[in-house]
Structure 1
Amino acid sequence: MFPISEASKAVSRNGPAPPPRRVLTPSNLILDRERSIFHETWWLDIASGGRWTLATVEESGTIVGEMPYYVSRKGVWRACVNPPLTRTLGPLIVDSGQSPMAEFQHRVSVTTKLIEQIPRVDRFFQVFDPRIRDAVAFSLNGYNVSLGFTFRISCEQTREEAWRRIRKYTRNLIVKAEQELTVKTVPSADDFLNFYNANLADRKQRNAYGTQVMGDLVKAFIYRNAGTIIGAYSTDGVMVAAVGLVWDSRTMYYLLTTRAQEAHSGSISLLIWNAIQIAIQRKLVLDLDGIASPSIYRFLSSFGGSLDQRIEAERMTTTYSLAQTLHRRILSRTSNGATL
């Protein structure tokens, strides 16, 4: 038997209706189905503070390709990177409906025209949504194209099947946590944000995403019913862990996570298990994000997902590359000297 919480039964919050979507032409409707939540105008407006640009390509008055980008400045350097909390981006191309070879040439041509609109920067780096495979044009235009990875859990399974695919050790941890904790939807965005910031303060850390940006995004995705926050509560009703989930028409993303230092060691595992159930109920793939370290790999791999590829495109100027190399060497020497 596996635990099912109230949060997995109530998968969405009622709230004010979101503003009407923009009017789309037929071809743009195709693009709209391909957009991830991170491609959405409202998301990019908040994440970038409105400082993003949409490169577009039109044919016969119809948009056939688009790619959002965001340019920031740090010191003397200009970088075109994903905005805070914007996990993936990348170009979106409308299928031409031609033969496979003609389709390939069409996609390379449109992607090249999008690339030509990116301004000169010291560093360009974008992680593409896993469904985006248009990388050839980046390689042909001098970008380094590599592969990253993310764990994704299929929604084409029952809860029982998903439970069996979780590693035994993690299942045991979830069962033990469920005996001590109750999982439910966090009542308000402010409850989560206050809890998140308090946990950072306890660890003497700062919010890497920006407190204002993260707060505005959390409030926006809850308001638009494009995400939710689920929390784990102790028997006395105190929240000890929470995760933020967002979704689009195809995918749910495990986006934010936090827990109190004294929380049960299985609290986050319990919340991820509930996220799996919510994703299956919504018929969405659950994306657990990339692999930043061996420990994160071991943790995320225990939930029974598949390892999917996502493209990463990068280009740096020679000056920026040399500066980064010098910076790493200085840090290495400082670190080595501190341990002597």
Structure 2
Amino acid sequence: MKITVFHEPWWLSAVSGGLVHESVVKRGNDVVGRLPYVFSRKGPFRLLRMPAFTHVLGPVVDSGDGKPQTRLTRRLAITQQLIDQLPSTSELKLCLDPSLDDGLAKIDGLAFQDRKCSVAPQFTFEIDCRRSLDDLLAALDLKTRQHIRRAEKTYHVRSLDQPEVFIDFYLKNLTAFGRTSRIGFDNFPVLFSECRARECGIILSLFNENDEPIAMTFLVWGHGTMYYLLSTRSRHSHDSGAISLLLWSAIKKAHELGLFLDLDGIYSSGTARFLANFGGKLKTRLVVRRSRMPYSALQYVKAQYSGNESNFFT
């Protein structure tokens, strides 16, 4: 069964504090489908979500052998059985990668839709970093290349092995922008330790000439793909070349490891225009959601009064 790093049991245990649940479908003694999830609470409401730091988490299905249409039908049936096992909650929200299982995972969206869930697209860019560095550099927008070359004269990038420093920098930056974090960082040190032990995660940090941090990003990888998972920048950084240099450093790291780089979510046209300069291809994820009254009514009211709020992963 093809999975992402987010489906790994060690990942799910680390990010959830061991509180992950699963729907499971078996054929005889063999597991042919599983769907991990966690519960969270908002006041009296019980929510079924993905754990923190987990940006894609859908069904894992063994669609077996045979013709594509046979495997597609089999996957649909297994996914529906997984959904039917999910407990009743005020809201269900998951993000799916439809490229899994040779693209057959697209049918998962239909399975959730059939079970009264809404299905909406989420966009990201994916860069094939298995190409040569010359090809990757040539794929960059001309002005972006110039910004990176200029930034290399002022800034330097190095890895950071202190997760608490990343957390502190991230939260201070949010405060400086007048925002609060929707992410709980309690499990982040454990997650970082697990990633480092498996050599599948790194914090890249960008520093200025005074050795002051300007921006940081947490990269994780597995099963052929690296994710630009969590990034933050100082409010005092107005140099787009600095952020471009950090992104280029991530591209080079993915190239070194022979991976695709997923830039992990686009939430505005401005972000799309910036990320399009790095030579990636647009990729679509599926966000499935099912809300019940009165929780959906409460969320609607909140949305009317928070229209200017920036998007963060939750």
Per the normalisation by structure 2, the TM-score is: 0.88
Residues 154, 208 of structure 2: 8 Å contact kept: yes
**2:205 corresponding residue in structure 1:** 231
The runs of 5 or more residues in structure 2 that have no matched partner are 310-314
**1:289 corresponding residue in structure 2:** 264
Determine which of 74, 77, 101 is the counterpart of 1:109: 77
Letter in 1 for 2:192: V
Letter in 2 for 1:307: L
**1:59 corresponding residue in structure 2:** 27
**1:157 corresponding residue in structure 2:** 131
Task: Please show how residues 98-247 of structure 1 align to structure 2 within 5 Å.
Answer: 98-132=66-100, 133=105, 134-247=108-221
SS in 2 for 1:302: helix
After alignment, is 38-47 or 51-60 more displaced?
A: 38-47
Cα deviations across residues 135-171 of structure 1 (Å, max 9, x unaligned)? 2222222222222211100124211111111112222
Residues 242, 268 of structure 1: 8 Å contact kept: no
Aligned counterparts of 2:119 and 2:210: Cα–Cα separation in 1: 51
Aligned counterparts of 1:197 and 1:326: Cα–Cα separation in 2: 27
Residues 130, 308 of structure 1: 8 Å contact kept: no
Per the normalisation by structure 1, the TM-score is: 0.82
RMSD (CA atoms): 2.2
SS in 2 for 1:148: strand
Deviation at 1:232, TM superposition (A): 1.7
Residues 125, 283 of structure 2: 8 Å contact kept: yes
The runs of 5 or more residues in structure 1 that have no matched partner are 1-30, 336-340
Deviation at 1:217, TM superposition (A): 2.3
Cα distance change of structure 1 residues 101 and 240 upon mapping to structure 2, 3 Å threshold = closer
Task: Please show how residues 281-320 of structure 1 align to structure 2 within 5 Å.
Answer: 281-320=256-295
Aligned counterparts of 2:68 and 2:209: Cα–Cα separation in 1: 59
Aligned counterparts of 2:176 and 2:287: Cα–Cα separation in 1: 34
SS in 2 for 1:135: helix
Cα distance change of structure 1 residues 249 and 262 upon mapping to structure 2, 3 Å threshold = same
SS in 2 for 1:237: coil
Residues 193, 215 of structure 1: 8 Å contact kept: no
Deviation at 1:178, TM superposition (A): 0.6
Cα distance change of structure 1 residues 77 and 301 upon mapping to structure 2, 3 Å threshold = same
Determine which of 26, 38, 42 is the counterpart of 1:74: 42
Aligned counterparts of 1:261 and 1:103: Cα–Cα separation in 2: 50
**1:276 corresponding residue in structure 2:** 251
User: Rg larger in 1 or in 2?
Assistant: 1
**2:233 corresponding residue in structure 1:** 259
Percent identity for Structure 1 against Structure 2: 34
Deviation at 1:121, TM superposition (A): 0.9
Aligned counterparts of 1:332 and 1:122: Cα–Cα separation in 2: 21
Letter in 2 for 1:278: K
Aligned counterparts of 2:210 and 2:243: Cα–Cα separation in 1: 18
Residues 23, 34 of structure 2: 8 Å contact kept: yes
SS in 1 for 2:153: helix
**2:312 corresponding residue in structure 1:** none
Residues 177, 264 of structure 1: 8 Å contact kept: no
SS in 1 for 2:113: helix
Cα distance change of structure 1 residues 136 and 130 upon mapping to structure 2, 3 Å threshold = closer
Cα distance change of structure 1 residues 243 and 324 upon mapping to structure 2, 3 Å threshold = closer
Aligned length: 301
**1:96 corresponding residue in structure 2:** 64
Cα distance change of structure 1 residues 313 and 197 upon mapping to structure 2, 3 Å threshold = closer
SS in 2 for 1:240: strand
User: Structure 1: which 4+ aligned runs deviate by more than 6 Å?
Assistant: none
Aligned counterparts of 2:64 and 2:225: Cα–Cα separation in 1: 25
